[in-house]
Structure 1
Amino acid sequence: MKYLIMMYPNAEVLAALSEDERNAVFQGHGPFMEKIKETGEFVGTLALAGHDQSAVVRVRGGVPAVTDGPYAEAKEYVGGAYIIEAKDLERAHAIAAMIPDAAVEGLGIEVRPIVFSEGASA
């Protein structure tokens, strides 16, 4: 089954880390990806621009209205994601726990089963 693993960076938490700690989190994604590529569980990944670059689109009366984002006001926002293929939810959780962000107090990793996808990387 495929799973979406979403990372929620928090600017305040990251700013409180030392430069070495921040670098360990950011640079730790390379070895993580290599490990799950070797196991065949890696499907894809993406990194998103900051939430300050987002827009919200709503159609009212047939007319699109675009406003500055993000959609919800929060300290945490989706900053990136991995798509993985794992034998079950327990393994998906184990893979998520390997992501460097998971070991940082105040950062979160969310795992969701993908119930439908279409396209080459999803």
Structure 2
Amino acid sequence: MKFLLNLYLDAADPPGERFDEDFLAAAWQAGELVSAHAFADPSIGVVVRVREGVVSVTEGPYPGTSDHVVGQYVLDCESRDRAVELAALMAGARPGARHLAGGVEVRPLMDAAGMEM
């Protein structure tokens, strides 16, 4: 099964800090890491909306939350439980690890027919 992990940071997380070393080592060694993508700072992004046919573009991060996605990982593992186990490594589950205040979202991926991949 394939899962998308969204890595969130918020104001409590130090900028530029890496939280994913344990996760990457475990997922890579098990052959479960399909892809990884780091995102640029949200302040240089834009939000595009269309309302009643009118396109608007807003500079900066998506408003309404202090959390923002800083990276995404695609896993191919045997179960949701395994995906959660790997996400917990990134979120700081091991003793002495820094905790990721924004959290890690785990979502199953689906194909165009709506079936889990």
TM-score, scaled to structure 2: 0.75
Q: Say which is worse superposed, 59-68 or 31-40, in terms of deviation.
A: 59-68
Moved beyond 6 Å, runs of 4+: none
8 Å Cα contact 2:12-2:101 kept in structure 1: no
Q: Is the 8 A contact 1:32 1:98 kept in 2?
A: yes
Match of 2:60 in 1: 69
Instruction: Answer yes or no: is 1:109 the counterpart of 2:104.
Output: yes
Is 6-15 or 36-45 further displaced after alignment? 6-15
| 2:9 is aligned with 1:9 | yes
Query: Following superposition of structure 1 onto structure 2, how do residues 1-122 of structure 1 map, counting pairs within 5 Å?
Result: 1-14=1-14, 26=18, 29-60=20-51, 62-99=53-90, 101-103=91-93, 104=99, 106-116=101-111
Structure 1 residues 67 and 9, CA gap change in structure 2 (3 angstroms): same
Instruction: Give the unaligned 5+ runs of structure 2.
Output: 94-98, 113-117
Distance 1:110 1:61 in 2: 32
Percent identity over paired residues: 34
What secondary structure is seen at the aligned counterpart in 2 of 1:111?
strand
The number of residues matched between the two structures is: 108
- TM-score scaled by structure 1? 0.72
Provide structure 1 residue ranges, at least 5 long, that are not aligned to the other structure: 16-21, 118-122
C-alpha RMSD over aligned residues? 2.5
